[in-house]
A and B are shown apart, each in its own frame.
Chain A
Amino acid sequence: MIAARPMSVDSATVRKIASLARIATSDAEIEAMVPELNNILGWIEQLEEVDTSAVQPMTAVIANTLRLRADVVTDGNRRDAVLANAPAPEHGFFGVPKVIE
């Protein structure tokens, strides 16, 4: 069952999308995005015209088989390299702000 599409997004929906996408957004930015996203989504909606009832969605663009490799450790012992670009490494770990629930 394909859910019906809303005709357009409103500022509450755009705020929810921004929150899902973890992008802090001001009210002014939200208001600016509403018509912009509606313009793009309105254009995308022309895909509804295409009859795809007998079509499978594409899963691989070029026929290929997924390879399996031996279940062995091929990597590791690179802590310093892994942490080299971390903005706040602490005692050999990634540092993050305190999380208190």
Chain B
Amino acid sequence: MADLTDLGIAAIRDGFRAGDFSAREVADAFNAAVASAKALNAFIVETPEHAISAAEQADRDRSEGTLKALSGVPIGMKDLFCTKGVQTTAASHILEGFTPQYESTVSAKLWAAGAGMLGKLNMDQFAMGSSNETSAFGNVISPWRRSDGGNAPLAPGGSSGGSSAAIAARIVPGATGTDTGGSIRQPAAFTGISGIKPTYGRCSRWGVVAFASSLDQAGSMARDVLDCTIMLEAMAGFDPKDSTSLDLPVPNWEASLSGDLKGKRIGIPKEYRVDGMPVEIDALWEQGIAWMKDAGAEVVEVSLPHTKYALPAYYIIAPAEASSNLARYDGVRYGLRDLPDGAGLQDMYAATRAAGFGPEVKRRIMIGTYVLSAGFYDAYYTQAQKVRTLIARDFDAAWEKCDLLLTPTAPSAAFALGEKSDDPLAMYLNDVFTVPSSLAGLPAMSVPAGLDGQGLPLGLQIIGKALDEQGVLNASLAIEQRAGFTSRAEKWW
């Protein structure tokens, strides 16, 4: 039998249904792959027993004819999703040992669909970061290495860096991610996998550790577009427990998946041609334009004039919401408590938060506290929310001329660990192409499209209108069919 860990979500689902192998065999194969890949540090907690229990149930369901959408498929769960009885930390020391008494809606939906959990995936602390270097549980190492023979450990992207590394290393067939400003798409691009952030409100935020509530959105990450589609269908759907959840049926995206783009107009936003972008990324973008035409689409140039203001607006809005959301970590109800001798309540709050939060989390809480403080609120926060309106209007104007947008996912290939961690601003600039669609709540996907001169993956991004996940998935599939991306990281771990 072929190595089961070479199979993606669709292949596992279909092979299991056809009786080619049992769910238990799949779970055993992936559990072993997870256990042997500790050098990647992709997991904070491994849960082989969860995967086995779901697999045994799937095997029973198969014999009884009660198969579910993801029966037989084990996945990885980003450690931002609360999982009942399994430690959930958001990769922060302040939540170390926190064991939720409830299940997040997204993870509950996946388990109800028959999926099993291989473990909780490492990430940037509270999803704040683009390289997975802010985790309190150590860096995730990308399975990819440059072809120069130097073996410098590379960033898997962030914040969903455990998810991206685990999928690229073939130790999970798919994983959940969350995306606030690019945290699904940028790590997907860095590791040669696919990842989609759906429209804001498609996936419930209930039980997901909050970072910036008006931006946070869960999505799926996997080896290809079909696998992401299958998984997203199981994750999405209305949830009365999330006040911003969209009360809409989940379309059958898989049934309508097609790489035929006849009649579609693809916009190329001219403002995304930024200074200093590597020639290879520009060339790949041109290649993507040719692929769109080959798939039957018409390509038009469009303008999104406020693009350059998206990142600064994001770095007001996201920290402001974070400073408010993270006020709950006070050492009283859950998580870490640091009570110095003789300290009062206020000292306990301050000591607990100083000991529990990492430097990047503190930095963002401080920025957020400052921009929301008396006298500066309008100048910073209100102005940023106005600019956000203008960014959303830019997209609305573009939709008069096109149905979807094609852009690079990130301005560079994966960088080495440590290369940008001393310069917060340089790190923030990683999200230049992903933040605008996050601010507008639009669905967007990254698909692998080629390798750079150092043998590292590069991604292209498709952005769609609100609720048009189908259009995004289809155009992404058209790229995937033409890119023929089959490269994978050579195993060293």
Contact = CB atoms under 8 A, between A and B. Distances in A.
Contacts of A82: 101
A50 B373 CA distance: 22
Given A84-B99, A86-B333, A97-B345, A36 B312 contact: no
A47 B357 contact: no
Interface of B: 97-102, 199-201, 214-215, 240, 243-244, 246-247, 306, 308-309, 312-313, 315-316, 323, 327, 330-337, 339, 343-351, 353-354, 357, 362-363, 365-367, 369-371, 373, 375-376, 378-380, 382-390, 392, 424-425, 439-441, 466
A24 B386 contact: no
A47 B392 contact: no
Contacts of B380: 5, 44, 47
Given A9-B370, A37-B370, A87-B335, A55 B386 contact: yes
Contact of A67 (B243, B306, B323, B367): B243
A19 B353 CA distance: 11
Q: Which 9 A-B pairs have the closest CB atoms?
A: A57-B385, A61-B441, A85-B334, A87-B337, A52-B386, A24-B354, A24-B350, A81-B101, A21-B369
21 contacts: A2-B379, A3-B379, A20-B369, A23-B354, A36-B424, A41-B370, A44-B371, A46-B308, A47-B312, A48-B383, A50-B309, A50-B390, A55-B390, A58-B389, A58-B392, A60-B244, A78-B101, A84-B101, A86-B333, A86-B334, A97-B348
A11 B139 CA distance: 31
Contacts, number: 173
Contacts of B200: 61-62
Interface in A19-36: 19-25, 33, 36
B392 A61 contact: yes
Contacts of A22: 327, 330, 346, 349-350, 353
A15 to B, nearest CB: 11
B379 A67 contact: no
A91 interface: no
A36 B362 CA distance: 12
A2 B378 CA distance: 6
A97 to B, nearest CB: 6
A73 interface: no
Interface in A36-74: 36-37, 39-41, 43-50, 52, 55-62, 64, 66-67, 69
B272 to A, nearest CB: 18
B84 to A, nearest CB: 10
A46 B334 contact: no
Contact of A39 (B348, B350, B425): B425
A7 interface: no
A39 to B, nearest CB: 6
Contacts of B379: 2-5
B5 to A, nearest CB: 35
A87 B336 contact: yes
Given A43-B315, A58-B389, 14 more contacts: A37-B370, A40-B424, A44-B315, A47-B380, A50-B309, A50-B386, A52-B383, A52-B386, A57-B385, A60-B244, A64-B201, A81-B102, A87-B332, A96-B345
A17 interface: yes
Nearest to B371: A44
B389 A23 contact: no
A18 interface: yes
Contacts of B247: 67
Nearest to B97: A85
- The residue among A22, A39, A52 with the most chain B CB atoms within 10 A of its own CB is A22
Given A25-B354, A39-B425, A97-B345, A20 B378 contact: no
Contacts of B382: 57
Nearest to B423: A39
Contacts of B375: 3
A63 to B, nearest CB: 8
Nearest to B313: A47
B385 A58 contact: yes
Contacts of B350: 19, 22-24
A56 B353 CA distance: 35
A34 B340 CA distance: 27
